[in-house]
Amino acid sequence: MKPLLTVRGVETYYGAIRALKGVDIDVFEGEIVTMIGSNGAGKTTLMNTVCGDPRARSGRIVFDGRDITAMPTHEIMRLSIAQSPEGRRIFPRMTVYENLLMGALLGPGDDASIKEDLATVFGLFPVLERRQGQRGGTLSGGEQQMLAIGRALMGRPKLLLLDEPSLGLAPLIVRQIFSVIRDLNRTQGLTVFLVEQNAFHALKLAHRGYVMVNGQITMSGPAAELLARDDIKAAYLEGGVHA
């Protein structure tokens, strides 16, 4: 398997606070990798550090054979990384359609591909097609989450970064979104790095997993193995097994 994303010894600071304390991560092509951890562990910080904001103070991040540690965010993303960020960050005063076009900036950009990708996204999330002309800020939480994922897919990314796509959503919608991710991975070989609180679902979906505690990776391994461990069950799955 070819490494797509390699993170080595990354430390990230917010002022004097060290949020990441030497993190190592690998994501190989065609994998779904998840990172679980409790609130404030540093999961979002890691995902954002990969995207160059905030920047790693030390360590190295390599994507697709290129060192991206010091690159500006927009250049990193143009190497074909798309992020569906924490809080969804839908452009509130743009329509659903325009939000999707923003995602298409990372893609090939010609009208034919955009049309094709729109059809794909509308196929996955039919509600978005019906709401094309509605302003993003007025969508429901679940619809916004679908739009955030759809927007990321519009860029035909090599690597899809998903930060808590299940947050605040009904179990039915969570299942729907996770099955979309699984299908894209199986049919198109899409590589996914998924950050989740919903550890049970995430570990069920992923091939491999990492556990982050307090800015450090404490455990890693095949997702099924992590799922079977008693300490993980105790720490992250209490009350989480509801599917």
Ligand X SMILES: Nc1ncnc2c1ncn2[C@@H]1O[C@H](COP(=O)(O)OP(=O)(O)OP(=O)(O)O)[C@@H](O)[C@H]1O
Residues that bind ligand X (CB under 6 A): 14, 17, 19, 37, 39-45, 86, 197
Q: Nearest approach, Cβ of 85 to another protein (angstroms)?
A: 6
Among Mg ion, another protein, ligand X, none, what does residue 110 contact (CB within 5–8 Å per kind)?
A: none
Q: Is 131 exposed, middle or buried (0-12, 13-18, 19+ CB in 10 A)?
A: buried
Q: Nearest approach, Cβ of 163 to Mg ion (angstroms)?
A: 6
Site string for another protein, 175-204 (x = CB under 8 A): ------------------------------
Which residues would be at the binding site for Mg ion (CB under 5 A)? 44, 86
Pick one of 30, 62, 102, 220: the residue that binds another protein (CB under 8 A): 102
Report which of 44, 38, 50 is spatially closest to residue 19, judged by C-alpha positions. 44
Phi, then psi, of 129 in degrees rounded to 5? -65, -40
CA gap 43, 243 in Å, rounded: 24
Interface with another protein in residues 38-97 (CB under 8 A): 51, 53, 72-74, 77-78, 82-83, 85, 89, 91-94
Asked if residue 155 binds another protein (CB under 8 A), the reply is yes
CA gap 79, 4 in Å, rounded: 11
Question: CA gyration radius for the chain?
Answer: 17
In the bound state with Mg ion, the residue whose beta carbon lies nearer, of 26 and 86, is 86
Report which of 21, 6, 18, 14 is spatially closest to residue 216, judged by C-alpha positions. 21
Question: What does the angle CA 75 – CA 153 – CA 191 come to, to the nearest 5 degrees?
Answer: 80
In the bound state with ligand X, the residue whose beta carbon lies nearer, of 44 and 220, is 44
Residue 72: is the preceding peptide bond cis (ω within 30°)? no
Among ligand X, another protein, Mg ion, none, what does residue 158 contact (CB within 5–8 Å per kind)?
A: none
Asked if residue 167 binds another protein (CB under 8 A), the reply is no
> Applying CB under 8 A, what is the total number of residues that bind another protein?
24
Q: Contact 5/27 with Cβ under 8 angstroms? A: yes
Secondary structure of residue 131 in the 3-state scheme: coil
Look at the alpha carbons of 231, 236, 239, 243 in this order and tell me if their dihedral is positive or negative.
Answer: negative
Q: Nearest approach, Cβ of 60 to ligand X (angstroms)?
A: 20
In the bound state with Mg ion, the residue whose beta carbon lies nearer, of 36 and 205, is 36
The helices-and-strands tally (H runs, E runs) of the chain is 10, 10
Q: Nearest approach, Cβ of 87 to ligand X (angstroms)?
A: 9
Binding region for another protein (CB under 8 A) = 51, 53, 72-74, 77-78, 82-83, 85, 89, 91-94, 98, 101-103, 105-106, 137, 151, 155
